[in-house]
Structure 1
Amino acid sequence: MPPRVLYEGMDGGGFSYLRQLLGDARRYRLRSCHPPITVPAWMAMFTGRTPGELGVYGFRHRRPGEYGYYIVDGTRIRHPALWDLAGRRGLRAGVYGVPPTYPPRPVHGFLVTDFTTPGPEKPYTFPPWLRRELEQAAGGPPVFDIVYRSGEKDRVARDLYAMLESHQRQVEYLALRKRWDLFIYVEIAVDRAHHAFWRYFDPEHPRHEEHPVYSRVIPELYRRIDRWFERLHRRLPRDTVVVVASDHGIKAMRGAFAVNQWLAEQGYLRLRASPGELKPGTELSEDLVDWEHTVAWAWGGYYSRVFINLRGREKRGAVEPKYYEETVEQLRRDLERIRGPGGEHWRNTALRPEEVYPEVNGDPPDLMLYLDDLNWRPAGTLGWPSPYLEENDRGPDDAVHDWIGVFAVYDPEGTVSPGEAGVIDIHGVRGLLEEIIFSRR
């Protein structure tokens, strides 16, 4: 959620009650973490730890010494979250949809897992028996996620609304029927709507298109959230503090850049096949690469993780350890010199994890690449006529993440004074929340 939507009125009329509430709130611009993506950003917020300390750099993670990956889940989060601390202090916490909380772990209260849950056939609640109660009360299990990178926009819109309604029924039941002191609810439908429909909503999008149906999807989603929240809020205790937060912002995706194709063109990545023989969208599979002559490869995403093929670390490493430092620095310089499709200057940043984190755990990339200040999305596939792609290589996606999100605190008792309050770092949110929560115990 970008500040210009929630704070400055670019909501298409969707947020009425919420904007009124936030007029009496302390409003911050939230600076996200490196990288500003859903996993690990929510856990950076609720643990107060950087992704380096968490050892979580995205949804996908490298298998040590290998070229493949696995999907991160909640077992990777080993630092206590805000709800764990609340439980230790005797407070009851409700947690719904915070990524990544699958598989469910014990809390002093109740927990429903997030969109990384493989499906409703898997355990997704704590305590386990809450599952049956919740399904009976809300008419079925939650819809954990939808297919949103799709050209079937009518279906995407229907699925979005259905997922939102599924979540709202369950959250309302939990909020009104269960005991809690702290309730945290993350609604992933907002993110999915932005990625699927931002070009129809944002007039500044380079491929903006007015559409009689699709241009109304995002404002309609906002409206459904707003009306539901107003009904719920009016039934909560009068002294309830409301915090509205997003883990990152959102903005138009200007295009995608095939980073592995560029690495191959520059001689960093050696392929067994000629690039001209590959079909557009070819995945960078292990058997496609001549690893003995490859210096580096990369993953796509909202940022790119770039890996050096280091001898002794990778099973088929080619770069001698004594040349590691100079290889990383040369590659960094080359990545930061990449320009746009018309030769225009890009604001590229290639960072080493140890430069941005006080502690680096897990299996980090060697470089973290942000293309043109996140305006362009790195693509990991091959076989394109040009490395500059108009669309995302993973399917239609109108938006990329941005550094600045929102964080607002509405305190009906006036302990937290309203007004603009500048920028708050995502890692500092937890301390502020602790102050709010425990001062009211």
Structure 2
Amino acid sequence: MSPRSSPRLLIVGLDCMEPSLVFEQWRDNLPNFSRLMAQGSYGRLESSIPAITVPAWSCMMSGRDPGELGIYGFRNRSSRGYQKMAIADGRAVKVPRLWDLLGDAGWKVAVISVPGTSPPYPVKGQLVSCFLTPNRSVPHTYPPELANQISQWMPDFILDVPDFRSDEKDRILQDIYTLCDQRFTLATKLLKQEAPDFLMVVDMGVDRIHHCFWKSMDSSHPQYKPNSPYKNAIRDYYVYVDRHVGELLKICGNQTAILIVSDHGARPLIGGICLNEWLIAEGYLVLKEAPDVPTSLDEVEVDWSRTKAWGAGGYYGRVFLNVQGREPQGVIPLADYEQERSHLAKKLAAITAPDGQPLNTRAFKPQQIYQKVRGIAPDLIVYFDELAWRSVGTVGSNSLYTSKNDTGPDDANHAQYGLMIFYDSQQPAQGKVIDNAQIYDILPTLLHRYQLVPPPNLRGKVLPI
């Protein structure tokens, strides 16, 4: 493919960007997003289950679901042993993603900070790895020498907002803006220097600002802080990102198609359900000695010979059953597995709010929601009240409910729907609203638009963008 002055396709990923804020609440404050919506097509984008950064971006870029990828969250069981969890980095993705397929078709690509790209690997162009990169002393670019170029451009280049679950709000806010500036600066420099046919950049700042400042903005939050000095922090950041997108588009030609996309949305975090405390109370999980302060399950002695199930914390719940012949000290006979799992799912769905009112809780069986189930999947994936409540994995609180997050201060949870906005001047859609779009549809839709043959057995469909 011959060099060109502007990319054919530009994707700006905005982790966790909430559609209701862009499409409704702040649309008039976001002139670039608003213009792209008015001239192109847009809609809510249903995320993967679970609606988590890892695996959602890899699902989007590969057209595969978490079961096919074998990635069920930020951390996954690495073996059938107990408490053996490992971070799912880019090496867990065994299938080609959009930039790989475009590269195979002759496109020159540039990939910046897309979750699931650490450690970096060879592409037909440039790649800068994601927030999972431990630090800049390890490989974080392809080709490797790109790291030196980035250090010259930005000596203080950061890979993520450090320690964003803390009370250092002013420092966090400054780091969020630094992260954003650096990502868009890097995108601009690579567009000008490398003239790629395809560029994708993901900003994690939207996610970080939601987790840090949602209660200052949202009166429905149980810990809402009226007149907080940070009450406009999220809106101001959306405006700032919109401006960056506008500046990036100015250096692209009218031949460039652009996709603005988020992997999931956001909502106020109401509280936490202490999943393992509930399993203890229901007789599923037995400890040899219960701690008297909240303690990670990894740090207490579990009586596995009497334990039927245990759980993991996070924005969603994961429940693992202790099955004979599968786990080292399994107690549930394989013949009883499905009955036990179904019974436990019903009991989890019946957990009420602190006031006794029902919660809209769903416990998913991986085999029912995924096309395939690879790796070591949870036996149940649990959404407490559609993610209004997070799962807390610690034991020792002697309470089913908590208002505190066991991993640090956190104002927001993820929501099942993110967003997409697509505009191509060659085929303007004039404000068309896209319905029933799923994260799996992005890859087949883009391959279809550029007349490229998709890999077989993709989960998604072609959207009428």
Length-normalised TM-score, structure 1:
0.95
Question: Which residue, out of 140, 164, 171, partners 1:155?
Answer: 171
Question: Which residue, out of 142, 149, 157, partners 1:141?
Answer: 157
Question: Which residue, out of 63, 78, 84, partners 2:94?
Answer: 78
**2:416 is the counterpart of 1:403:** yes
The structural deviation recorded for 1:379 is 0.5
User: Cα 1:77–1:330, aligned 2, differ >3 Å: closer, same or farther?
Assistant: same
User: Cα 1:416–1:87, aligned 2, differ >3 Å: closer, same or farther?
Assistant: farther
Question: Which residue, out of 40, 51, 55, partners 1:25?
Answer: 40
Q: CA RMSD in A?
A: 1.6
User: Cα 1:49–1:353, aligned 2, differ >3 Å: closer, same or farther?
Assistant: same
Unaligned runs of 5+ in 2: 1-16, 453-465
The answer on whether the counterparts of 2:215 and 2:225 sit within 8 Å (CA) in structure 1 is yes
Aligned to 2:193: 177
Aligned to 1:8: 24
The structural deviation recorded for 1:83 is 0.5
The answer on whether the counterparts of 2:54 and 2:115 sit within 8 Å (CA) in structure 1 is yes
Aligned to 2:348: 335
The structural deviation recorded for 1:210 is 2.6
**2:66 is the counterpart of 1:51:** yes
Task: Give secondary structure in 2 for the equivalent of 1:214.
Answer: coil
The structural deviation recorded for 1:416 is 4.2
The structural deviation recorded for 1:230 is 1.6
The answer on whether the counterparts of 1:303 and 1:374 sit within 8 Å (CA) in structure 2 is yes
**2:401 is the counterpart of 1:388:** yes
The structural deviation recorded for 1:287 is 4.6
Q: Return the alpha-carbon distance in structure 2 between the equivalents of residues 296 and 435 of structure 1.
A: 45
The structural deviation recorded for 1:389 is 0.7
Aligned to 2:333: 320
The answer on whether the counterparts of 2:59 and 2:66 sit within 8 Å (CA) in structure 1 is yes
Aligned to 2:382: 369
Q: Return the alpha-carbon distance in structure 2 between the equivalents of residues 44 and 124 of structure 1.
A: 22
Aligned to 2:13: none
Q: Return the alpha-carbon distance in structure 1 between the equivalents of residues 188 and 39 of structure 2.
A: 24
Unaligned runs of 5+ in 1: none
User: Cα 1:299–1:211, aligned 2, differ >3 Å: closer, same or farther?
Assistant: same
Q: Which moved more, 1:226-235 or 1:290-299?
A: 226-235
**2:308 is the counterpart of 1:295:** yes
Q: Return the alpha-carbon distance in structure 2 between the equivalents of residues 306 and 212 of structure 1.
A: 38
The answer on whether the counterparts of 1:96 and 1:184 sit within 8 Å (CA) in structure 2 is yes
Tell me which amino acid in the other structure corresponds to 1:399.
A
Q: Which moved more, 1:161-170 or 1:263-272?
A: 161-170
Task: Give secondary structure in 2 for the equivalent of 1:64.
Answer: coil
**2:214 is the counterpart of 1:195:** no
The structural deviation recorded for 1:417 is 4.7
1:136-168, Cα deviation, whole Å (9 max, x unpaired): 123343333321111221222122122222222
Question: Which residue, out of 278, 283, 292, partners 1:278?
Answer: 292
Q: Return the alpha-carbon distance in structure 2 between the equivalents of residues 242 and 438 of structure 1.
A: 17
The answer on whether the counterparts of 2:130 and 2:159 sit within 8 Å (CA) in structure 1 is no
The structural deviation recorded for 1:286 is 6.1
1:372-403, Cα deviation, whole Å (9 max, x unpaired): 11111010011114211112221111111111
Task: Give secondary structure in 2 for the equivalent of 1:422.
Answer: coil
**2:370 is the counterpart of 1:354:** no
1:38-88, Cα deviation, whole Å (9 max, x unpaired): 011111111000110011000101121212211111111011100010011
The structural deviation recorded for 1:415 is 4.8
User: Cα 1:200–1:212, aligned 2, differ >3 Å: closer, same or farther?
Assistant: closer
* Correspondence list, 1:33-44, <5 A: 33-44=48-59
User: Cα 1:417–1:320, aligned 2, differ >3 Å: closer, same or farther?
Assistant: same
The structural deviation recorded for 1:119 is 0.6
The structural deviation recorded for 1:215 is 1.2
Question: Which residue, out of 89, 109, 116, partners 1:100?
Answer: 116
**2:416 is the counterpart of 1:424:** no
Q: Return the alpha-carbon distance in structure 1 between the equivalents of residues 227 and 171 of structure 2.
A: 16
User: Cα 1:23–1:415, aligned 2, differ >3 Å: closer, same or farther?
Assistant: closer
Percent sequence identity is: 36
User: Cα 1:328–1:294, aligned 2, differ >3 Å: closer, same or farther?
Assistant: same
Task: Give secondary structure in 2 for the equivalent of 1:7.
Answer: helix
The answer on whether the counterparts of 1:255 and 1:388 sit within 8 Å (CA) in structure 2 is yes
The answer on whether the counterparts of 1:142 and 1:170 sit within 8 Å (CA) in structure 2 is no
Q: Return the alpha-carbon distance in structure 2 between the equivalents of residues 137 and 374 of structure 1.
A: 40
The answer on whether the counterparts of 2:310 and 2:321 sit within 8 Å (CA) in structure 1 is yes
Q: Return the alpha-carbon distance in structure 1 between the equivalents of residues 26 and 244 of structure 2.
A: 20
The answer on whether the counterparts of 2:39 and 2:429 sit within 8 Å (CA) in structure 1 is no
Q: Return the alpha-carbon distance in structure 1 between the equivalents of residues 153 and 172 of structure 2.
A: 26
Aligned to 2:10: none
1:218-251, Cα deviation, whole Å (9 max, x unpaired): 1222232222222221121122111110011111
The answer on whether the counterparts of 2:387 and 2:414 sit within 8 Å (CA) in structure 1 is yes
Task: Give secondary structure in 1 for the equivalent of 2:297.
Answer: coil
Task: Give secondary structure in 2 for the equivalent of 1:194.
Answer: helix
Length-normalised TM-score, structure 2:
0.90
Q: Return the alpha-carbon distance in structure 2 between the equivalents of residues 181 and 438 of structure 1.
A: 15
Q: Return the alpha-carbon distance in structure 2 between the equivalents of residues 416 and 84 of structure 1.
A: 28
Q: How many residues align?
A: 435
The answer on whether the counterparts of 1:138 and 1:173 sit within 8 Å (CA) in structure 2 is no
Tell me which amino acid in the other structure corresponds to 1:234.
K
